[in-house]
Amino acid sequence: MGTVLQRLQRLLDRPGPLADLLGRLEARTGVRRLYLASGSVAFLGLYLVFGYGASLLCNLIGFVYPAYVSIKAIESSSKEDDTTWLTYWVVYGVFSVAEFFSDTFLYWFPFYYVGKCLFLVWCMAPVSWNGSQVLYHSVIRPCFLKHHQAVDSVLGDLSTKALDAASTVTREASRAAVKLARDAKSD
């Protein structure tokens, strides 16, 4: 168990916004940052189980930090971080669509929002085995590679039909406007 605590302590001491915040709180309160972080995670977990607005909090956790680091990735010169966060957003989108259809049943489970929050944190975790990488490479990418040509074909047909329909509507509207103008002029 000592190694887990040591790894957590190293994570909390690593330079960055989290360490800065915990350092300021530690200096003000005199409480070690490990206890501050553990207490915050415990409070967050309890709030996700019993608190009002757990859905909003869970969605904020899954959206705010990834959106912030995605903007930073766009602004950086490295393309590796862009790929990492694009992968997250693809998985997040697929999860959101799946959740739309299953949410009616799943949100009745008492630990649903805790599980959802843990899933989203796993998807954004800065490790090689994070959820977005695992799910993208094992589920989404194979499905995409298998079906993308058929989807492209359907989308191409739909766009052609939409353009044809728009062209027809525009022609008919133009003819009707000309006819109305002629009829108004003759009256």
pLDDT in tens, 42-76: 887 777 777 777 888 888 889 988 999 899 999 98
Condensed to tens digits (0 to 9), the pLDDT of residues 77-104 reads 888 888 999 999 999 999 999 888 887 7
Return the pLDDT at 46. Answer: 77
Q: Is the pLDDT of residue 166 over 80?
A: yes
Provide the residue ranges of all domains of the chain, joining segments of one domain with +: 1-51, 52-147
Return the pLDDT at 2. Answer: 62
Angle separating helix axes 2-13 and 17-29, nearest 10 degrees: 100
Return the pLDDT at 93. Answer: 93
Rounded distance between C-alpha atoms, residue 40 and residue 37, angstroms: 5
- Amino acid identity at 73: A
5 CB burial (10 A radius; 0-12, 13-18, 19+): exposed
Condensed to tens digits (0 to 9), the pLDDT of residues 97-142 reads 988 888 777 767 778 888 888 999 999 988 888 899 999 999 999 9
Return the pLDDT at 90. Answer: 95
First to last CA, the chain: 93
Return the pLDDT at 187. Answer: 66
Rounded distance between C-alpha atoms, residue 79 and residue 7, angstroms: 29
Is pLDDT larger for residue 38 or for residue 1? 38
Q: Count H helices, E strands: the chain?
A: 8, 0
Listed residue (121, 157, 133) closest to 44, CA to CA: 121
